[in-house]
Amino acid sequence: MASRTLPGASGAGDRWFETKSRIHARLINSLSPEQLKSLSKDGVRGEVGNAVERLIADDQIPMTLAERDRLIEEVLDEVFGLGPLEPLLKDPTISDILVNAFDNVYVERGGRLVETNVRFRDQAHLRTIIDRIVANVGRRLDDSSPIVDARLNDGSRVCAVIPPLSLLGPVLSIRRFGNKLLSTSDLLKNETLTSGMLDFLGGCVEARLNILISGGSGSGKTTLLNTLSRFIPEEERLVTIEDTAELQLQQPHVIRLETRPMNIEGAGAITQRDLVINALRMRPDRIVVGECRGPEAFDMMQAMNTGHDGSMTTTHANSPRDAFSRLETLVMMVSQQVPDAVIRHMLASAIQIVVHCARLTDGSRKVTAICEVAGVEREHVEMRDIFTLERTGVGRRGRVLGSFAATGTRPQCLGRLESYGVHLAASIFSGAQELKDR
């Protein structure tokens, strides 16, 4: 990506924006809106090149051939793309783009946040790009609706906030999902979990156990859910339900449902709970909810308890036990007439396995715990650790040291796995595997 002068470093950055704005204006004046809509990026490239040449000649601007080519690309990005963000969107190593202000842009690479030298001309320029994103997805962003959560054509998730909610001007975050789905081999290579842990989780999916995946933002919950879904037999009918579509299940028989926000009149919203209720009428073998964070938790629990076993969902939490408690709270908020003890028993019956993911201080993403729900004892849900990640320190270049350890506990669900033809070696549930200090 070509470097861009940071504001304050010199006047070069401002002069570059001024030159680009003049080229942009000349292009708009030379081509009608209808022509711009009908022409492709390559089709307009010649017009932009001619405008650059004329400006260089008229104003005697010193410019190298590389700078000329860069200027043409950036003007084209302004017309057809997302302006200064386009080079970042083309970089496959970037997983998050975080625009904190028009002159303050961060990206995440390899789990670490890095400040970039990308900037917008001013707040109005940033707002123009945000409005373009919002218009492309059929959403609105104004004083009455200052937050928008949407999805780009490539599947990236976008969240934008404008004043008065944002005190420093418009802000934008883009969560990107790689074109290449991570395979089970990729997870093992990245030391996200061990082969034994993967065999156990794969067996749980095949044996139709209900699985809850928990963790913080960016901890790898969706990636793990996508990977575990590979163990679902291809002949089964799946229904996925999400606020913003992120799941990439590879089975041939998948129905993808996405919520809809309210329209400009404040009506027409379709919630996850609406979709879960409707999904039960669509003859699903399994239901996969991208994230349970509201009333849909109650209906998801009902589905798990009424023949739709093998279903999966995720939730935000700091630990497996916190995840279960959070789900319990969400269900209680909907069914206030049902005693807490009854809800607790229903949840313990609905969910058999809780998997917790975390993004560690070195940027790596790990499965830090796999727990089995063992029932309710003295009005408390009993959870048994099957695998844990035990951290011991920090190695070279800040790498987290430690090991994946099996607790030695033999899961109660092994009998069910065997009834589905899944036979796991006893050695999986003992011993430890150290993380590599690479």
Strand partners, 200: none
CATH, range 184-434: 3.40.50.300
Under 8 Å between Cβ of 301 and 346: yes
Say which CATH class 81-178 falls into.
alpha beta
Nearest to 205 by CA among 360, 88, 311, 75: 311
Quote the CA–CA distance of 272 and 291 in Å, as a whole number.
Answer: 9
Under 8 Å between Cβ of 355 and 213: yes
Non-local (6+) Cβ contacts of 155 within 8 A are 177, 245, 246, 248
Nearest to 409 by CA among 428, 422, 423: 428
- Local confidence pLDDT in tens for the 438 residues of the chain: 343 333 333 455 566 667 766 766 665 565 555 655 555 666 666 776 776 677 667 766 677 777 777 777 777 777 777 888 988 988 888 989 999 999 999 999 888 899 998 888 889 989 989 988 888 777 788 888 899 888 787 778 899 999 999 998 999 999 987 667 788 999 999 999 999 999 999 999 999 999 999 999 889 999 999 999 999 999 999 999 998 888 888 888 999 999 888 776 777 889 888 998 999 899 999 999 988 888 888 888 888 887 889 999 999 999 999 998 899 888 888 877 888 888 888 899 999 999 999 999 888 999 999 999 998 887 888 999 999 999 999 988 888 999 999 999 999 999 999 999 999 999 999 989 998 876
List, by residue range, all CATH 3.30.450.90 domains of the chain: 81-178
Virtual CA dihedral for 333, 339, 345, 346, nearest 10 degrees?
A: -50
pTM for this entry: 0.81
Contacts of range 85-88, beta carbons closer than 8 Å, 24 or more positions apart: 85/118, 85/129, 85/174, 87/1, 87/2, 87/118, 88/1, 88/116, 88/118
> How far from the centroid of its chain's Cα atoms is residue 343's Cα?
30
Express each pLDDT in 114-132 by its tens digit.
999 888 888 998 998 998 8
Nearest to 93 by CA among 316, 363, 395, 396: 363
List, by residue range, all CATH 3.40.50.300 domains of the chain: 184-434
> What strand order describes the sheet that includes 254-258?
254-258, 238-242, 286-289, 312-316, 211-215, 353-359, 365-377, 380-394, 400-406, 432-434
